[in-house]
Amino acid sequence: MAKLCQYCGKREAKIHFTEIKDGKQTEMHICEQCAHEKNVALAFPSLLSHIVAGGPSAGSSSDTEIPGTCAECGLSYADFKSKGRLGCPACYTSFAPVLVPLLEKVHGSSSHAGDSPRRLKSVISANQEARELRDALDQAIADEEYEKAAGLRDQIREILGAEDSES
């Protein structure tokens, strides 16, 4: 059964917060319209902002260069650190030196390993298999095992098609 918004009591709650503080669990259920109108997201501190509060040392070496700002949206690292939110897709590249270790610390990996839409699972699976084969191909070439490398190249072509195999 769907929960109703705790503010308006009319619409279905789409945003759900659970806070556990001093062993007590508090839940809040809000519809998207009320969350937007009341700026609810700002009332709850972002988990990411707490994690990045320690700076790039949160999982990376002390000699990691802290990026200044995102070239696309102008978001500064200090703003990202205080808000816990990125400004645009280019921020992932701009702040990669600190984001990759952060993602690895939080999720145990810097690549997505969760569930995917059914229609994309076969594509994602094929791409993952091709990545693994490319790593094996690189190793075979480094080891000068050219027959093995040719077989791996053919497997990659079969998985992805001839047009993508040359990358």
Q: Is 41 or 140 the better-scoring residue by pLDDT?
A: 140
Buried b (16+ CB within 10 A) or exposed e, 48-78: beebbeeebeebbeeeeeebebbeeeebebe
CATH topology of domain 1-44: Wheat Germ Agglutinin (Isolectin 2); domain 1 (3.30.60)
* CB hemisphere CA count around 142 (13 angstroms): 6
Q: Is the pLDDT of residue 58 over 70?
A: no
- What DSSP state is assigned to residue 69? B
Q: What pLDDT digit, counting tens, does each position of 13-53 carry?
A: 887 777 777 778 888 888 888 877 776 654 444 444 444 54
Q: What pLDDT digit, counting tens, does each position of 73-130 carry?
A: 988 888 887 777 788 888 888 888 887 777 777 666 666 566 666 666 667 677 788 8
pLDDT of residue 57: 43
**Domain ranges (residues) in the chain:** 1-44, 46-110, 118-164
Q: Is the pLDDT of residue 166 over 60?
A: no
> CA 129 to CA 110: how far, in whole Å?
18
Would you say 95 and 89 are in contact if contact means Cβ atoms under 8 Å apart?
A: no
Least confidently predicted of 4-8, 50-54, 140-144, 158-162: 50-54
AA identity, residue 40: V
